Amino acid sequence: MFDRVVGDSEFNVSELEARGYPRGHVIPVFYDDLFFRRPFDDAEAELRSFNGSCINMAFIGRFVPNKRPDNLIRIAALVGKMSGRKTKLRLFGKLWDRTYFRTLWRLVEDLGLEDAVSFELNVPREGLKSALSSSDAFVSASEHEGFMVPLVEAFATGCPVVALASSAVVGTCGSAGLLVTEPDLEQMAARIVCIAENPDLKRSLMRVQAQRSEDFSSLKTLNKWNSLLGEFLPTSLVKHENRV
């Protein structure tokens, strides 16, 4: 029997409890909040206005079936039809299954989106931050997530989130983001178009998301670990401000 059980989300803790583990503590994943929340320099600020005539979307995650990148491609097609504007969907991730990846590219070809969809592999964090900051929406149709760090990165960079309310996505987003309870691709596309065409809505979402991102600051997460491990260790983990 374990003395303590820890999960990075309420969703994961509940799954552990359902399998017979004692009630656990929720301590989120560390993410580089200082980097993603850092004010943009002049070069990065210029990227934020990238291709303003186009509706830009982004997703960060592995190219695997449960992430449903196929539905993101379909959403990109719907956004173009609804808005009458060019669309750009940038899918950032890692290649896990070449056969599945080929099915995704065939879908892109079938929908005539060769110029609208790009698969970008192993992009460093600087590129991810710039992509998020220059996008109208971070969109997720994932069916299963344990926490989903890219959601918080999108919050921190000021990229509005439109996502399927599945698994841990609900808990990670809290009251931030625009969540769709059913995998209704037309509804998700309509929300993206609404954000792109309504600056006031976009600014409102950015404010709420920025506040939510503060809940996952490295210092707050470190303090949660310090509080838990302090029950077992004779001295504090936190020394000299943020250093461990």
Q: What is the pLDDT of residues 141-195, one digit of tens each?
A: 999 999 999 999 999 999 999 999 999 999 999 999 999 999 999 999 999 999 9
Distance CA 186, CA 171 (A): 24
Whether 236 is in a domain gets the answer: no
How many CA atoms lie less than 13 Å away from 15 in the CB half-sphere?
13
User: The pTM is what?
Assistant: 0.90
Whether 244 is in a domain gets the answer: no
Residue 212's nearest CA partner among 162, 163, 174, 179 is: 174
Contact 85, 199 (CB under 8 A): no
**pLDDT number for residue 42:** 46
Whether 168 is in a domain gets the answer: yes
Q: What is the pLDDT of residues 29-74, one digit of tens each?
A: 999 999 999 876 644 544 554 446 899 999 999 999 999 999 999 9
Structural domain including 93 reads 33-214
Whether 18 is in a domain gets the answer: no
CATH of the domain at 166: 3.40.50.2000
Whether 54 is in a domain gets the answer: yes
Tally of structural domains, the chain: 1
Stated as kind and residue range, the H or E segment containing 157 is: helix 149-157
Residue 86 φ/ψ, nearest 5 degrees = -65, 150
